Amino acid sequence: MSEGVTGDRLRAVASRLAAGVAVVTVERRGVAHAATVGSLVSVSLEPPLVLFCVHTDARLRDVLDDADTWAVSVLADDQADVADWLASPGRPAVGQLDRVPHRPAPVSGAAWLDGAAAWLDCRTEAVHPAGDHDVVVGRVLAAREGAAGAGGLVHLRGRLRGVR
């Protein structure tokens, strides 16, 4: 890294910033792909745009080259186990959502995870390289809120924490 800042130093500093946790899903050739992200950001209201970042080596990144629509489940405060599972290296490429209750999103057909705090259905507008990650910008095609009392899940100092 530049000016003596290492990846470990940046990770330690960035861990002090609470980040909302979501799962991005893509349906390709009848196989559901999913990944936990801590970088979902609302970018614009007009047009409605969000972005997330994905490592260039991630399976989900490869799938995004073949599918232009994807779904987001903003995880609720009680879904840390789901976040951990879908962030686990070595989980199977096929059947990774078998243990996670879900339903198809209305536009993309990708999975919306049951019990989430909110859901989005998106179409890729742009992908920008950014170091070892790509920034994926998507137009929001559908949006839905979960239960009124659902809290959120955040990543802070290397731990998942429920917030109400």
What percent of the chain has pLDDT above 90? 91
Q: Output the pTM of the full model.
A: 0.94
**pLDDT for the residue 46:** 98
Closest alpha carbon to 137 in 67, 63, 48: 48
What's the pLDDT tens digit per position in 95-148? 999 999 999 999 999 999 999 999 999 999 999 999 999 999 999 999 999 999
The band of 2, judged by pLDDT with boundaries at 50, 70 and 90, is low
In a domain, 157, yes or no: no
Distance CA 150, CA 159 (A): 19
Q: 125: domain range?
A: 21-148
Average pLDDT, integer, range 143-154: 96
In a domain, 6, yes or no: no
Average pLDDT, integer, range 17-27: 96
Closest alpha carbon to 143 in 112, 103, 114: 112
Average pLDDT, integer, range 41-57: 97
In a domain, 121, yes or no: yes
In a domain, 25, yes or no: yes
Number of independent structural domains in the chain? 1
**pLDDT for the residue 62:** 93
**pLDDT for the residue 1:** 43
The CA distances from residue 105 to 3, 26, 120, in Å, are: 45, 10, 8
In a domain, 34, yes or no: yes
Distance CA 69, CA 45 (A): 19
**pLDDT for the residue 116:** 98
In a domain, 11, yes or no: no
**pLDDT for the residue 52:** 98
In a domain, 1, yes or no: no
Distance CA 160, CA 79 (A): 9
Distance CA 58, CA 156 (A): 22
**pLDDT for the residue 93:** 85
> Is 80 exceeded by the pLDDT of residue 8?
yes
Q: In this structure, what CATH number is given to the domain that contains residue 67?
A: 2.30.110.10
């399976």: which residue's tokens?
59
In a domain, 43, yes or no: yes
